[in-house]
Structure 1
Amino acid sequence: MTESWRHLPAPARPIAAAATAAVDAVRAGDAAELDDATDRLAGLDPAQTGLILGTVVRLLLEDGHPDGLTADDVRAALASCVRSWPAADPQVVLWLLAGALGVLDEDGAPAPKPDALARQSAVLIADLLSGRPAAPWLTAALAEIERTQLND
């Protein structure tokens, strides 16, 4: 079933569609579909894509740890993702976790390439979703981004 994203702002629709397709491809083990979806994600505005997917990751982490997130929780999230998904790249997944939590050292190593970020975001989100649908989390992320932008 293809999700309708008409309720989202126009710039967010292709990101939501490609992210959902990528997560579904990870879950199905469909390498060709994952390649297609991550190519689409990587071709979109990296700032918008990173903000949306990073917010999804942060919301999922917060949901799984309502009493607060510890370094051990982050390590466990990384280990779960790498153990569960053969396509997981530990260094990129760690970079994504750090970015989602706002603890990236901007002066450190350069960011991974957009295609690696897109693929590993899908892998990480698939793991954090634990079988739940992606659509509500994408919608919640966009609502939070909108709220934040309106209040700034």
Structure 2
Amino acid sequence: MVCHADPVSTTWRHLPAPAREIAAAAAEAVAAARERDAGAYELAVERLTAADRAGLVLGGVVRLLLEESHPDGLAGDDVRQVLERCVRSVTPWWSQVDPHVLLVLLASALGVYDPGEDDAPPGPGEIARHAPLLVADLLAVTGRPLDDYLAAAFAEVARTELHD
């Protein structure tokens, strides 16, 4: 009998199964977002929302992408431009995009979001549904593959867990 499991990049074989699931689902969702394929995106983010801690990993990816694309730091105008560019590019093919969730993702990645001050903080599912949109948009700026950022984000999560 042949196994029909999703192909796993050799990059992720060393990771525990839950982390491999996040990597595979994130790669699918980002690819669907880059292709502007709403059907494939819905399937991929459904899988991603089921993966525990996907938001944490993708938040790390967003932070790394922001740091690389803005090496001199981000000003308020930079954040606004990233948000506007992402919303404009996504809205024609995925009408469910919520600018507030994207803003929360950006603020969280930058370490300036306080959920206690938010009247309607998005849940982990909404974060996981929107993070690939922001990742795809930022990847277009850097021109580097997602795998590099995922590997760095997983390493960061592992370091944090070791020190806790």
Task: Figure out how many residues of one structure are paired with residues of the other and give that number.
Answer: 150
> Could you state the TM-score of these two structures normalised by the residue count of structure 1?
0.88
Deviations 1:89-141 (A, max 9, x none): 21111111111112122212233244432221111100000153211111111
Distance 1:78 1:38 in 2: 20
The correspondence of residues 6-25 of structure 1 with structure 2, limited to 5 A, is 6-25=13-32
Q: CA deviation at 1:60?
A: 0.3
Unaligned runs of 5+ in 1: none
What's the CA shift for 1:57?
A: 0.3
Match for residue 106 of structure 1?
Answer: 115
Counterpart Cα distance in 1 of 2:157 and 2:82: 23
**1:139 is matched with which residue?**
151
Give the deviation of 1:147 after TM superposition: 2.5
Cα offset, 1:26, TM superposition: 0.8
C-alpha distance in structure 1 between counterparts of 2:74 and 2:28, whole Å: 28
Q: Which runs of 5+ in 2 are unaligned?
A: 1-5
Distance (Å, rounded) in 1 between the aligned partners of 2:70 and 2:25: 27
Question: Is structure 2 residue 164 aligned with structure 1 residue 129?
Answer: no
How do residues 1-152 of structure 1 correspond to structure 2 at under 5 angstroms?
2-4=7-9, 5-45=12-52, 48-86=53-91, 87=94, 88-107=97-116, 108-130=118-140, 131-152=143-164
Task: Indicate the structure (1 or 2) with the bigger Cα radius of gyration.
Answer: 2
Name the % identity: 55
Following the alignment from structure 2 to structure 1, what is the Cα–Cα distance between the partners of residues 7 and 138?
A: 21
Distance 1:74 1:91 in 2: 13
- RMSD over aligned CA atoms reads 1.9
> Does the aligned pair in 1 maintain the 2:32–2:40 contact within 8 Å?
yes
Change beyond 3 A, Cα 1:117–1:33: same
